[in-house]
Amino acid sequence: MNGTWHSHWRHAFKLDPDKSIGDEALEAICMSGTDGIIVGGSSGVTYENTIDLMARIRRYEVDCALEVSTLEGAVPGFDGYFVPLVLNTERSEWIVGRQLQGLMEYGTFVPWEETAAQGYIILNGDATAAKLTGANADLTESELVAHIQLADRLLRLPAVYIEYSGTFGNMDMLRAASRHVRDAQLFYGGGIDSAEKAAQAAEFAHVIVVGNVIYTDLNAALSTVRAVKAR
Ligand code: 1GP
């Protein structure tokens, strides 16, 4: 795998700037032993709520990265930046359009050493991100493999993200993805709400990302870190 600022990650929490989290819960998340906190969300992300959450996470030593999905939410001061490119959509604005728009406006300010493209493959059609981007979530396994080859071999993206946000994914699909990734770091996110699911996904993905359960069952969220670190 490529040697970048995120290449040692195995576990990450994703915090949504549009959701509220108390100080105690935030401390537990940041001190959990996770490798990184990703700040990102599919809706309601603004400069104000992003910078507010970043400042609160900054009290802790944990790596803190921004998933840049809107221009409004592009905030300086993070340790790293992930820029998603949605690969399974026909709407070019989500593949390169918005990214180009961002570069036209902020290109001179981009910290390139700390910025990584993530090839997103969204496989839950009910996810907000899938609806927003018009993703074709019903990929067959061979179509998924072609998307992996596109991201990993042809485009040489540093990271590929299998996104099932809101539901636990098909582990056969994740296994197929893992078999075909050579250089990219494989992220998996979606429906991880227990140590068991964390361990299952971590068998195939380099990095598992845990989101929603932080807001519904903090202890279950924390158990996912131990499940990955115990491997
Ligand atoms: C969302 O992949 C992450 O972008 C995590 O998904 O919220 O379902 O855990 P969940």
* 3, pLDDT greater than 70: no
The average pLDDT across 58-70 equals 95
Ligand 1 surroundings by CB, under 6 angstroms: 14, 163, 165-166, 189-192, 209-212
Which of 9-18, 66-75, 149-158 comes out lowest in average pLDDT?
66-75
In a domain, 193, yes or no: yes
> What are 133's two structure tokens?
């981007």
Contact criterion met (CB below 8 Å) for 6 and 159: yes
Task: Tell me how far the alpha carbon of residue 151 lies from the centroid of ligand 1, in angstroms.
Answer: 21
Domain assignment of residue 35, given as a range:
11-229
Q: What is the CATH number of the domain that holds 198?
A: 3.20.20.390
In a domain, 36, yes or no: yes
Q: Report the nearest-CA residue for atom 1 of ligand 1.
A: 165
pLDDT, averaged across the chain:
96
Q: What is the pLDDT of residue 1?
A: 47
Query: Which of 209, 217, 222 to mutate to test ligand 1, by most ligand atoms within 8 A of the CB atom?
Result: 209
**Has this prediction a pTM greater than 0.85?**
yes
In a domain, 210, yes or no: yes
In a domain, 6, yes or no: no
DSSP line for 107-134: GGG--GGGEEEEEEEE--TTSHHHHHHT
Query: Which of 43, 66, 192, 218 to mutate to test ligand 1, by most ligand atoms within 8 A of the CB atom?
Result: 192
In a domain, 37, yes or no: yes
Task: Tell me how far the alpha carbon of residue 69 lies from the centroid of ligand 1, in angstroms.
Answer: 15
Contact criterion met (CB below 8 Å) for 29 and 40: no
Give pLDDT tens digits for 78-116.
Answer: 999 999 999 999 999 999 999 999 999 999 999 999 999
In a domain, 5, yes or no: no
Residue 104 burial by Cβ neighbours in a 10 Å radius (0-12, 13-18, 19+):
exposed
Total number of domains constituting the chain: 1
Q: Which atom of ligand 1 is nearest to the CA of 188?
A: 2
Q: Which atom of ligand 1 is nearest to the CA of 163?
A: 2
Task: Tell me how far the alpha carbon of residue 224 lies from the centroid of ligand 1, in angstroms.
Answer: 13
* 42, pLDDT greater than 70: yes
In a domain, 90, yes or no: yes
In a domain, 200, yes or no: yes
